[in-house]
Chains A and B, each alone.
Chain A
Amino acid sequence: MTTYVLHDTDVLLKRSLRHILRSPDTIITTAVTPIAMLLLFVYVFGGAIDVGGASYVNYLLPGILLITVASGIAYTAFRLFTDVSGGIFERFQSMPITRSAFLWGHVLTSVVANMTSLVLVVLVALAMGFRTGAGVLAWLAVLGIMLLFTLALTWLAVIPGLTAKTVDGVSGFSYPLIFLPFVSSAFVPTESMPGPVQWFAEHQPVTSIVNTIRSLFAQQPVGSDGWVALAWCVGLLLVAYALAMRTYRSKLA
């Protein structure tokens, strides 16, 4: 049974990876918006933002990485929606293949696509003067957090992908996620915000994740932010996974 899941997932993963290779614009579009923000904030607004002496591109990159994933998962939802609204979803479901393989194929494709976009964004940041002395372990920790964050958001994206009635409905859900980093420590220190906004910013997931990645890159101790970030990522992942699977099952009833 387990080998069947792996085999079926592998076949379906290769299928959607081929989709991406045939329309690489989805990866480029995913990377373009965060890169534009990076340029805009570093070269236009950045000079007026006081981040306590650190280089602004170093300060900004972690938040931009999260925005990259938030916009990348819109394509995950879109690819699922295309399968479900066309006939191929019903073909797969009426074939003797393990049913979860369909979702896992899409989820793993999303991880590969988002990791590729992230590499593009990091390369541009390096060209813009982003520097870090982080060692292998710190980079692995950043990779681990980004993987967890991507998986959590991907499973979240599965829900509109399965339920949306129109293409607009599919892409609409990611806007709030792209916006969330603006009310966090991603662009400016939270201390500069008025009371209630500051409270929200400090208690939403983006701030702890951004602070953790920033500390890892700056070779600073991560502190309690690391645990909070981990808890948010794992918690979001579990909730999103449970909801997505419930949606999937109800679709098959």
Chain B
Amino acid sequence: MTTQPAIEIAGLTKSYGDHAVLTGVDLSVPAGTIFALLGSNGAGKTTAVKILSTLLKADGGTASVNGHDVSTEPEKVRESISLTGQFAAVDEILTGRENLVLVARLRRLEGSGAIADALLSRFGLTDAAGQRVATYSGGMRRRLDIAMSLIGDPPVLFLDEPTTGLDPQSRIEVWKTVQELAGRGTTVLLTTQYLDEAEHLADRIAVLHDGRIIADGTLAELKQLLPPAKVEYVEKQPSLEDIFLAIVGHDGAASQGAQR
């Protein structure tokens, strides 16, 4: 693992007309970590991700990914990243397998068929491989979407609200995948509006509000921003999610629930 941060942002600004979305964002994401960018709708999370993935140009400030500046070396940046946007970026008319083969070919990899088959089995999509994506459920689509992003093993992965609109089981599947990736050394920057998602997944969390980062640190560090916890005895009630997962009988449910 390198000591150089995977993502480095300084003084980043972006406006749409009179509307300032980012007003000076500073951020540093260490390589190999899961970093969550928290914020309400319209806080500028997607704008920040689009600038980092070279889809948008910033008005001011600098941003670099994997050591490459997004404005002066966009091609190098694109070689280092994969973007899984807010809406599943899959081709509805093609089959799941064809989608994976398409991305492998565009990345000019040898053996695109074998790459596709390996990912299909890893993401539990082998049975649906020959079906058109239009027939997939939301969770399957998201898994395919993430699988497509992993082709070519990019060192930095952007996940923009990866679990928005997913049912609880699919959400847990996505979480597992993300943790597995970080275990292999991939840097993951994920945006989310679900606080529990950030709490569950992220090594570090930054809060984006009114166009700037207002808090940045590990969960433990962020907790210290509040007065120390008092000890009270409260009967532990199961959350509705615990109950839902218990009665629908999802495998990972018991362990996931017990961790809270």
Residues in chain A within 8 A of chain B (CB atoms)? 4, 7-8, 11-12, 15, 18-19, 22-23, 86-88, 90-97, 252-253
Contacts and interface: CB of A to CB of B under 8 A. Distances in A.
Contact of A94 (B53, B93, B98): B53
Nearest to B85: A87
Given A18-B94, A22-B93, A96-B79, 12 more contacts: A86-B89, A87-B88, A87-B89, A87-B90, A87-B145, A88-B89, A91-B103, A94-B81, A94-B82, A96-B107, A252-B55, A253-B56
A94 B106 CA distance: 12
B148 interface: yes
A7 B107 CA distance: 10
Given A92-B106, A93-B55, A94-B55, A87 B94 contact: no
A95 B86 contact: no
A66 B63 CA distance: 50
23 contacts: A4-B108, A8-B106, A11-B102, A11-B106, A15-B102, A18-B93, A86-B87, A87-B86, A90-B53, A90-B55, A90-B85, A91-B103, A92-B106, A93-B54, A94-B53, A94-B54, A94-B78, A94-B82, A95-B103, A95-B106, A97-B106, A252-B55, A253-B56
B83 A94 contact: yes
A23 B94 CA distance: 11
Name, among B78, B102, B106, the residue most crowded by chain A CB atoms within 10 Å (CB to CB).
B106
A15 B94 contact: yes
Interface string B167-179: 0000000000000
B223 interface: no
B214 to A, nearest CB: 27
Contact of A95 (B98, B107, B145): B107
A103 B50 CA distance: 21
A42 B3 CA distance: 77
A121 to B, nearest CB: 26
A86 B92 contact: yes
A88 B83 CA distance: 10
B223 to A, nearest CB: 35
Contact of A19 (B57, B75, B87, B93): B93
Contact of A91 (B57, B85, B98): B85
B7 to A, nearest CB: 14
Nearest to B148: A91
B65 to A, nearest CB: 11
A91 B89 contact: yes
B105 interface: yes
Contacts of A252: 55
Contacts of A23: 93
Nearest to B105: A11
Contact of B89 (A11, A90, A253): A90
Nearest to B81: A94
Interface of B: 50, 53-57, 75, 78-79, 81-83, 85-94, 98, 102-103, 105-108, 132, 145, 148
Contacts of A88: 89-91
B85 A18 contact: no
A96 B78 contact: yes
Contact of B83 (A15, A18, A22, A90): A90
A18 B98 contact: yes
Contacts of A95: 78, 82, 103, 106-107
4 nearest A-B residue pairs (beta carbon): A87-B89, A91-B89, A94-B83, A94-B53
B141 to A, nearest CB: 10
A11 B103 CA distance: 9
A7 B98 CA distance: 17
A169 to B, nearest CB: 20
Contacts of B56: 253
A8 B104 CA distance: 11
Name, among B85, B90, B91, the residue most crowded by chain A CB atoms within 10 Å (CB to CB).
B91
A18 B105 CA distance: 15
Contacts of B102: 11, 15
A96 B81 CA distance: 9
Contacts of B85: 87, 90-91
A19 B93 CA distance: 6
Contacts of A97: 106
Contacts of B91: 15, 88
A94 B89 CA distance: 11
B70 to A, nearest CB: 11
Contacts of B87: 86-87
A191 B78 CA distance: 59
Name, among A86, A91, A97, the residue most crowded by chain B CB atoms within 10 Å (CB to CB).
A91
